[in-house]
């Protein structure tokens, strides 16, 4: 199987990370879809698996970016995860 990567991203996001990230950001599937500018069924399809969702890479990037902009930090490693992003002092 060939991994689809877009715009130079080396890491992909899992459906479990998307579900958890949406919970951390307190976003409904509809709100995340609006922020990512994708359809709500695209978000639901991405969340339907614990593994890497089979989505068009640009849609997956848009969901990933929308969650990051909503304050979610993605953790890579042996067990990928998410956490709230630390607030920076200004």
- Asked whether residue 10 is assigned to any structural domain, the reply reads no
Q: What is the pLDDT of residue 89?
A: 61
For the record, the structure tokens of 79 come out as: 């067990």
Count of alpha carbons within 13 angstroms of residue 8, beta-carbon side: 0
Phi and psi at 88, nearest 5°, equal -90, 145
- Asked whether residue 86 is assigned to any structural domain, the reply reads no
- Asked whether residue 20 is assigned to any structural domain, the reply reads yes
The structural domain count of the chain equals 1
- Asked whether residue 3 is assigned to any structural domain, the reply reads no
Structure-model confidence comparison of residues 79 and 23, the more confident one: 23
Convert the pLDDT of each residue in 47-72 to its tens digit: 999 999 999 999 999 999 999 999 99
- Asked whether residue 8 is assigned to any structural domain, the reply reads no
- Asked whether residue 84 is assigned to any structural domain, the reply reads no
Closest CA to 21 of 87, 75, 82: 82
Judge whether residue 7 has pLDDT over 70: no
**Domain assignment of residue 34, given as a range:** 15-79
- Asked whether residue 6 is assigned to any structural domain, the reply reads no
H-state helical runs in 37-89 = 40-47, 57-69
CATH of residue 41: 1.10.260.40
- Asked whether residue 30 is assigned to any structural domain, the reply reads yes
């Amino acid at each position: 199987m060939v991994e689809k990567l877009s715009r130079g991203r080396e890491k992909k996001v899992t459906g479990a990370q998307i579900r958890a990230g949406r919970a951390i950001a307190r976003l409904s599937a509809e709100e995340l879809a609006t922020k990512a500018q994708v359809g709500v069924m695209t978000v639901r399809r991405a969340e339907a698996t614990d593994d890497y969702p089979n989505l068009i890479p640009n849609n997956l990037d848009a969901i990933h970016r929308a969650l990051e902009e909503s304050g979610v930090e993605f953790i890579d490693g042996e067990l990928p995860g998410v956490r709230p992003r630390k607030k920076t002092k200004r």
